[in-house]
Structure 1
Amino acid sequence: MQRFFIQKSTLLFLSLIVLAACGKGNQNQAYQQQAPELPTAKVQQGDASVSREYAASVEGVSNVEIRPQVTGYLSKIFVDEGDYVNAGQALFKIEDQIFREQMKSAQALLITAQANLSTAKIDLDRKKELLRNKMVSDIQVKEAEATYNAARGAVSQAVSSIESAKINLNFSTIKAPVSGFIGRFNYRLGSLMTPSNQQPITLLSDIHEVYTYFSMSETDFNNFQKKQAGSTIGEIIKNTPAVSLLLSGGDKYAQTGKIDAVEGQFNKTTGSITLRAKFPNPENILRSGNTGKVVLDQFYSNVVLLPIASTRTIQDKIFVFSIKGGKAAMLPVEVSGKAGDNFIISKGLKAGDEYIVTGFDRLQPGTPVVAQKKNAQQKKS
Structure 2
Amino acid sequence: MDTLLKARLYRQAWPVIAVMAAISLSGCSSGTANTNYAPPPQELPVLPISNTSATTFQEFSATIEGTVNVELRPQVDGYLEKIYVDEGAYVTKGAPLFKINDRSYNENVNNSQATIQAAKANVDKALIEVNRLQPLVQNNVISDVQLKAAQAAYDAAKANLAQAQAGANSAGINLGYTLITAPVSGYIGRIPFKTGSLVGRGEAQPLTVISEIKNVYAYFSMSENDFLQFTTQATGKTVTEKIHALPAVELELADKSIYAAKGKIELMEGQFDKNMGTITFRAVFPNEAGILRSGNTGKIRIPHNNSNIMAVPQQATYELQDKVYVFALADSNKVVSKLINVTGRTSAYYLVDKGIQPGEKIVFTGLDRLRDGAVIVPHVLPADSVLKAMPL
**Global fold match (TM > 0.5):** yes
State how far apart, in whole Å, the 2-side matches of 1:371 and 1:212 are: 46
Describe the shift of the 1:370–1:112 C-alpha distance in structure 2 as closer, same or farther (beyond 3 A).
closer
Contact 1:320–1:356 (8 Å) recurs in 2: no
Contact 2:309–2:353 (8 Å) recurs in 1: yes
Contact 2:91–2:187 (8 Å) recurs in 1: yes
Contact 2:78–2:198 (8 Å) recurs in 1: yes
Describe the superposition over 1:305-362 as per-residue Cα deviations: whole angstroms up to 9, x where unpaired: 23538x6133576555544323143443232213687632133124xx4223787668
State how far apart, in whole Å, the 1-side matches of 2:318 and 2:73 are: 59
Contact 2:105–2:171 (8 Å) recurs in 1: yes
State how far apart, in whole Å, the 1-side matches of 2:97 and 2:365 are: 69
Question: 2:351 — aligned with what?
Answer: 344
State how far apart, in whole Å, the 1-side matches of 2:69 and 2:160 are: 43
Question: 1:366 — aligned with what?
Answer: 375
- What stretches of structure 2 of length at least 5 have no aligned partner? 1-39, 382-392
Question: 1:313 — aligned with what?
Answer: 317
Describe the shift of the 1:272–1:133 C-alpha distance in structure 2 as closer, same or farther (beyond 3 A).
closer
State how far apart, in whole Å, the 2-side matches of 1:86 and 1:367 are: 72
Describe the superposition over 1:171-210 as per-residue Cα deviations: whole angstroms up to 9, x where unpaired: 0111222222212122222222221112222222222221
* CA displacement at 1:47 relative to structure 2: 5.5
State how far apart, in whole Å, the 2-side matches of 1:258 and 1:214 are: 13
Letter in 2 for 1:49: T
SS in 2 for 1:195: coil
Question: 1:72 — aligned with what?
Answer: 78
Contact 1:247–1:291 (8 Å) recurs in 2: yes
SS in 2 for 1:285: coil
Describe the shift of the 1:129–1:244 C-alpha distance in structure 2 as closer, same or farther (beyond 3 A).
same
State how far apart, in whole Å, the 1-side matches of 2:270 and 2:325 are: 41
Describe the superposition over 1:200-236 as per-residue Cα deviations: whole angstroms up to 9, x where unpaired: 2222222222121223344333222211377332222
Describe the shift of the 1:360–1:59 C-alpha distance in structure 2 as closer, same or farther (beyond 3 A).
closer
Describe the shift of the 1:154–1:337 C-alpha distance in structure 2 as closer, same or farther (beyond 3 A).
same
Q: Percent identity?
A: 39
Letter in 1 for 2:352: I
TM-score normalised by length of structure 1: 0.77
Q: Is 1:43 aligned to residue 50 of structure 2?
A: yes
State how far apart, in whole Å, the 2-side matches of 1:107 and 1:40 are: 92
Q: Is 1:354 aligned to residue 363 of structure 2?
A: no
Describe the shift of the 1:286–1:141 C-alpha distance in structure 2 as closer, same or farther (beyond 3 A).
same
SS in 2 for 1:326: helix
Letter in 1 for 2:343: S
Letter in 1 for 2:356: L
Q: Number of aligned residue pairs: give it.
A: 336
Deviates more, 1:355-364 or 1:225-234: 355-364
Q: Give the alignment partner of residue 142 of structure 2, picking from 131, 136, 144.
A: 136
Describe the shift of the 1:251–1:341 C-alpha distance in structure 2 as closer, same or farther (beyond 3 A).
closer
Matches within 5 A, 1:1-381: 41=48, 43-44=50-51, 48-228=54-234, 231-267=237-273, 271-300=277-306, 304-308=309-313, 312-315=316-319, 318-320=324-326, 322-332=328-338, 333-338=340-345, 343-350=350-357, 353-356=358-361, 365-367=374-376
Contact 2:327–2:363 (8 Å) recurs in 1: no
Contact 2:249–2:301 (8 Å) recurs in 1: yes
Describe the shift of the 1:240–1:140 C-alpha distance in structure 2 as closer, same or farther (beyond 3 A).
same
State how far apart, in whole Å, the 2-side matches of 1:198 and 1:144 are: 52
SS in 1 for 2:376: coil
Describe the shift of the 1:343–1:134 C-alpha distance in structure 2 as closer, same or farther (beyond 3 A).
same
Describe the shift of the 1:91–1:368 C-alpha distance in structure 2 as closer, same or farther (beyond 3 A).
closer
Describe the shift of the 1:244–1:122 C-alpha distance in structure 2 as closer, same or farther (beyond 3 A).
same
Describe the shift of the 1:228–1:137 C-alpha distance in structure 2 as closer, same or farther (beyond 3 A).
same
Describe the shift of the 1:308–1:176 C-alpha distance in structure 2 as closer, same or farther (beyond 3 A).
same
RMSD value, Cα: 3.2
Describe the shift of the 1:257–1:113 C-alpha distance in structure 2 as closer, same or farther (beyond 3 A).
same
SS in 2 for 1:354: coil
State how far apart, in whole Å, the 2-side matches of 1:42 and 1:199 are: 61
SS in 2 for 1:294: strand
State how far apart, in whole Å, the 1-side matches of 2:189 and 2:71 are: 10
State how far apart, in whole Å, the 1-side matches of 2:235 and 2:116 are: 69
* CA displacement at 1:129 relative to structure 2: 2.1
Letter in 2 for 1:366: V
SS in 1 for 2:317: strand
- What stretches of structure 1 of length at least 5 have no aligned partner? 1-30, 373-381
TM-score normalised by length of structure 2: 0.75
State how far apart, in whole Å, the 2-side matches of 1:121 and 1:263 are: 62
Letter in 1 for 2:309: V
Deviates more, 1:66-75 or 1:176-185: 176-185
SS in 1 for 2:160: helix
Letter in 1 for 2:96: A
Deviates more, 1:259-268 or 1:195-204: 259-268
Describe the shift of the 1:371–1:179 C-alpha distance in structure 2 as closer, same or farther (beyond 3 A).
closer
